[in-house]
Structure 1
């Protein structure tokens, strides 16, 4: 079986992410194109996206939490079904996010039907508050696309 390709895409035009942060210092979005007969409920896709991430992703998040917790930054609830708080939900998009002293981020799982297919995209926007936020985000900037692509591939397996 051939799995759908994960592509780098623009943030969907109708995404709720467009106006959630006062400034965006980093953004990315990745998507898969699925057959038209799959469901289009964003909540179901978001739940599936976060369910059972690859073990290397769990280890990376655990390492991140052990390092930043010592610095007084917010850590994730790695035992929760979704490690980030849900902020907004519509039928076609679920938005998660955290505000911290070094940066704020928002991430969404967006579902759209077009071109005879269903497009599932995961997009992220980040506002960095300080030099520490920019330094913190350097390794995240490298790993984040790998994590999202891996989780989208797993989503469609």
Structure 2
């Protein structure tokens, strides 16, 4: 499902090195933090291995290890706090903006909800060859991961 979204991105679309926007119609009303909590509650084997591989390779290039998603449920979150490895740039019931920035690339993930449609918008700006090389496999896999997260979220909400 593709919709128009009030999502934040790092830059205007033509100036991004990576952009992806995916949406799902939610069966019930939830907040963006609720959606985050559900989607990151259980990291499957694939995700745990992907984060381990990411950390092992990236650390060779001076990139800090991120370890993946903790699965820890948050009841509240405020601008300036960390949500796993992401910095919270904005937090409201209908929008959650998260960033991770380093010398190789900047990443922004924006979760927004409008009329019960959750949209996850991902934008990336790369700064060097390592950042561009990193995004080649990550860009492809990211779409599959987000699609899987959105399907799992919808199934869990339908089961409530």
**Is the TM-score greater than 0.5?**
yes
Change in Cα spacing, 1:10 to 1:25, as seen in structure 2 (3 Å) is farther
Structure 1 contact 41–92 (Cα < 8 Å) conserved: yes
Instruction: Report Cα offsets for 1:20-61 as digits up to 9, x if no partner.
Output: 4474221101111123xx123221112212211332122111
1:41 lines up with 2:9 in the alignment? no
Aligned CA distance change for structure 1 residues 147 and 11 (closer, same or farther; 3 Å) = farther
Q: What corresponds to 1:87 in structure 2?
A: 89
Which residue in 2 is equivalent to 1:137? Answer: 135
What CA distance in whole angstroms lies between the structure 2 residues aligned with 1:112 and 1:101?
A: 34
Q: Does 1:32 align with 2:24?
A: yes
Structure 1: runs of 5+ lacking an equivalent: 1-6
> Is the Cα contact below 8 Å between 1:40 and 1:112 reproduced in 2?
no
| Contact residue 40 and residue 69 of structure 2 kept, 8 A | no
User: Does the residue aligned with 2:48 lie in a helix, a strand or coil?
Assistant: helix
- 1:102 is aligned to 104
Aligned residues: 141
**Structure 2 Cα separation of the partners of residues 47 and 79 of structure 1:** 10
Instruction: Give the gaps of 5 or more residues in structure 2.
Output: 73-83, 156-160
In structure 1, C-alpha distance between the alignment counterparts of 2:50 and 2:4, rounded to whole Å? 25
Contact 2:43/2:69, CA 8 A, preserved across alignment: no
Q: TM-score, normalised by structure 2?
A: 0.78
CA contact (8 A) 1:98 1:105 kept: yes
Q: Does 1:74 align with 2:72?
A: no
TM-score, with length taken from structure 1: 0.79
